[in-house]
Every structure is written in structure tokens, then in C-alpha cells.
Amino acid sequence: MKKTLLIAALLLTSVLTFAQSKDEKAVAEAVEKLRTAILAANEADLTKLTSPSLTYGHSNGLMEDQKEFIRALTSGDSKFTSIELSEQTISISGDVAMVRHKLMGGTHNKGKDPGEVRLGVFTVWQKTKGNWQLLGRQAFRLL
């Protein structure tokens, strides 16, 4: 009887871990797609990957909604020439995922000289109709 309970508990744990890993993988893929869409300033992909309720916070305190975020990227007002993410962690609770990572990148925003950014980033993703969409983002400068 004890062996049966132990085996059942191990199987249940394995199933729960697999389900979580599947969602974590899907969120990581969404993060990568967003990174690529930001670099390409691809309006269709940016729209698909972000929630209409998006709140996007920059390290300088600027806050944007979905339309402002996409407009800034597609107009060149905000332009990334490179983005590298590291030390990423993903935590999932139901249909919400919280992602933290470091972002190192090159920028060439309209009217400014090329620059570099070193940021800590916290994002919140929500699973909507089977797809993960960015709901919130806040960045801060790394020392």
C-alpha cells in the first residue's frame, strides 16, 4: 500500500512538473519572440505579443500603453540595435507568468547618438486564448 501511494505521488509530481515546464517553455518562447519583434520593429508581431491593456514602464520613468509602445518602436523614436537577455527566471501562477531577466542592448533612438543600456527587467505575461501576451513591464538601470 505504501509503495502504491509513493508511486502515485511521484507520478502526480511528474505530471505537475511537466505541465509547469511546458508553460515555462511557452513563456520563454514568447519572450524571445518579443525580443525579435522589438529589434525588427514589427508592428503585427508586437501587437500579437502584447495585451491591449499593456502597461510598459521604462527605466527613466516613462510609462506607455500598447499603442504608445508600438508607435515608439515602429516610428524609430525608440530603436534597439541589439538585445541580449540573461539570468532569466520564470514563475507561473495559473494564467499569469512573471519573468525577470537582465537586458544588455544597443540603442539608436531618433535624434540621439547610439547608446548602450544595462537593465533589470520584470515582466508580467497573461495566457489569453492559449497564447502568452505581455501585460506589464518595468525596467530599472543596473549599476
DSSP secondary structure letters along the chain: -HHHHHHHHHHHHHHHHHHHHHHHHHHHHHHHHHHHHHHHT-HHHHHHHEEEEEEEE-TTS-EE-HHHHHHHHHHTSS-EEEEEEEEEEEEEETTEEEEEEEEEEEE--TTS--EEEEEEEEEEEEEETTEEEEEEEEEEE--
Tally the residues of the chain.
143
Q: Rounded mean pLDDT of 33-57?
A: 98
Closest CA to 105 of 121, 89, 123: 121
Whether the pLDDT of residue 31 is over 70: the answer is yes
Q: The pTM is what? A: 0.85
Number of domains, the chain: 1
User: pLDDT tens across 47-78, in order?
Assistant: 999 999 999 999 999 999 999 999 999 999 99
Give the list of residues 6+ apart from residue 104 with CB closer than 8 angstroms, or none: 83, 84, 86, 116, 117, 118, 119
> Which residue type occupies 58?
H
Name the percent of the chain lying above pLDDT 90: 83
Query: Rounded to an integer, what distance in angstroms lies between the CA atom of residue 97 and that of residue 133?
Result: 10
Check which CATH number belongs to the domain holding 59 and give it. Answer: 3.10.450.50
